[in-house]
Structure 1
């Protein structure tokens, strides 16, 4: 397809709390991606950095920051910010440059050195931002928001605390197999239930941590890839969706809107997150039934269940049923968060959407080790940032 670009290399810096600059994490991930692609830094024609607003001025100009850290060599630089969707928008920017003929090979990098505890709003007062209003007028921090989401699912769909715990157990089991994950220890439902209550009904182990980490991709034109790619399956990015809400449905999180992401439904007839996935499927010419795996934004265990429905993997209200039957676990029909998800990594904001695509690349190449999804042919990611930023990427082999 004419809109495809190749993923030549993927690299990461392990997630954790390392106490170093985001620049170190990003450059190490970048070098790993270059090595994976079998290319030298001088082969890169453009660098797209996903910004981190907590990194000071270097974080605001991440593209230039990473280019300088790797060594000035004349590459084009671009910096992108979209909160938690920054990485996917950086991928979209890189793809646009390649398809426009501005560069044959582009390096995409995101990294963060996150503070402990809740993320506070960045950039001063934003009275037109619904998220800022939620923080300031309602006092609803993210965990409180996640708790309301969980309560909604319990009231409307019959989800239980045990269902939420099962999500954590599933993701921890996958994360235990991932050398880049911060938390590499299986947990039990009993351990989730025994952890401290944070925002009822969610407990500490239902909510992701904040982390340091980095991720990078080397993308290229299909012509370049055919000339230079190593032997083995060639992974292609077929779609990048970064849509915004559509008037009159401007509620950013409408959890009970019917979803059929493979159908051509006007955007205003579906919730925002479902629209993110719908746009990616439509561009890719694929639907949820074509996916071998999904990487989703599991800020909380309850939110992962919602993504099953928004991605069209389950009917509205049926996400917990999909989980209960084991379909979303490793070895299941449609593994979700085979990487371990944010439950195992924590949030390193500019890196996480890139890390999701790294996981798709390794899975589609058949190089994911013990967590390999058998016969993986296509995968989808989903991520959401503040104030209407969202993203979904579809990759195929």
Structure 2
């Protein structure tokens, strides 16, 4: 804690290169997932200067570099498929402030993210709007939340990179402070520092000798929200007024899943496991349904049956999820794909999903954007 995001990213990048058996000179491009909390104005983690700093080696200032946010893995894959690079390093890192996230950079009335915070609830103290947590009860699967709390959260115990590894009981969750009813403090992930990195390579590129059967990306789905729900991810509210509108045929999370399944040529029944964006317990339950792991309204039942636990029909967040890592925003989606890779290689240790062959990682971001990655072995 307390270090620059560049330091976290450099550590993750070196570990990824070592795992692939590559050197800095083997990298043809660096894609950085950006952050607004690096001490600079704007989004800088993946620009040319920061790409060189992350690389930390001689000559790396000549490497192609790009900065993105939710599109880091997709951008790297596109560069490989287009022939711009054979090997691409993807890095995401953040040094987050304590407490709940809030908009950076002051008042920005033309910025949908700023508007989301300002209009999602009444003012708190002297700040405009509310923390993001205040809006979750409007969007998360709170109907089955209490029923879904009856299982001990223990996945992080087997995750060596987890920040929180102590098991949390249902009684401890119920005894924690209410933050946004019915969400309690231990229903919500913490903010965190951290970094994650991946090496993507084209077919025929030789990496580590021990990776004789590489994990392959079968699909990358990125979906924008459907008008008029483009600013506030709230049900049936237009962006320019408080007038109710016709609900969309599917949620943006369902759109993410559908696009990923279509590109990969699979369905939810083909999955061995899933990694989902669990900012809160309610949101994890919602992902069960939107990924098609169960029917609508059956998420709490799926959890209570043990189907999403290690050894169950469809393990979810065997990594421990954000509940164990905390939220380092530019790193979290990349870290999910790192977990897909470990599971599909069969090297996840005590958290290994038996016979893992197909995995999906699903994430979401500002005002209704999201992405999913399907990987296979």
TM-score scaled by length of structure 1: 0.84
Q: How far apart are residue 80 of structure 1 and its match?
A: 0.5
Find out whether 1:119 has 2:118 as its counterpart: no
Quick one: distance in 1 between partners of 2:90 and 2:117? 31
Residues 145, 58 of structure 1: alpha-carbon distance in 2 compared, 3 angstrom cutoff = closer
Q: How far apart are residue 141 of structure 1 and its match?
A: 1.9
Secondary structure of the residue aligned to 2:197 is: strand
Higher helix share: 1
Q: How far apart are residue 218 of structure 1 and its match?
A: 0.3
Q: How far apart are residue 144 of structure 1 and its match?
A: 1.4
Find out whether 1:102 has 2:69 as its counterpart: no
The answer for the alignment partner of 2:195 in structure 1 is: 214
Unaligned 5+ runs, structure 2 = 122-128, 237-246
- Counting matched residue pairs gives 354
Find out whether 1:93 has 2:72 as its counterpart: no
Ranked by relative contact order (alpha carbons within 8 Å, sequence separation 6 or more), the top structure is 1
Render the CA deviation track for 1:246-273: whole Å, top value 9, x for unaligned: 34665864679xxxxxxxxxx9621111
8 A contact 1:37–1:218 mirrored in 2:
yes
CA RMSD between the two structures: 2.2
Matches within 5 A, 1:303-382: 303-382=283-362
8 A contact 2:147–2:300 mirrored in 1:
no
Find out whether 1:29 has 2:17 as its counterpart: no
The answer for the alignment partner of 2:182 in structure 1 is: 201
Secondary structure of the residue aligned to 1:322 is: helix
Quick one: distance in 1 between partners of 2:360 and 2:180? 30
Q: Higher mean Cα deviation, 321-330 or 131-140?
A: 131-140
Quick one: distance in 1 between partners of 2:346 and 2:87? 23
8 A contact 1:248–1:268 mirrored in 2:
no
Unaligned 5+ runs, structure 1 = 1-17, 257-266
8 A contact 1:296–1:336 mirrored in 2:
yes
Quick one: distance in 1 between partners of 2:150 and 2:31? 37
Render the CA deviation track for 1:349-382: whole Å, top value 9, x for unaligned: 0000000000000000000000000000010011
The answer for the alignment partner of 1:43 in structure 2 is: 26
Residues 232, 327 of structure 1: alpha-carbon distance in 2 compared, 3 angstrom cutoff = farther
Quick one: distance in 2 between partners of 1:373 and 1:219? 23
Render the CA deviation track for 1:285-314: whole Å, top value 9, x for unaligned: 111111111110000001100000111111
8 A contact 2:271–2:358 mirrored in 1:
yes
Q: How far apart are residue 149 of structure 1 and its match?
A: 3.7
TM-score scaled by length of structure 2: 0.88
Matches within 5 A, 1:283-322: 283-322=263-302
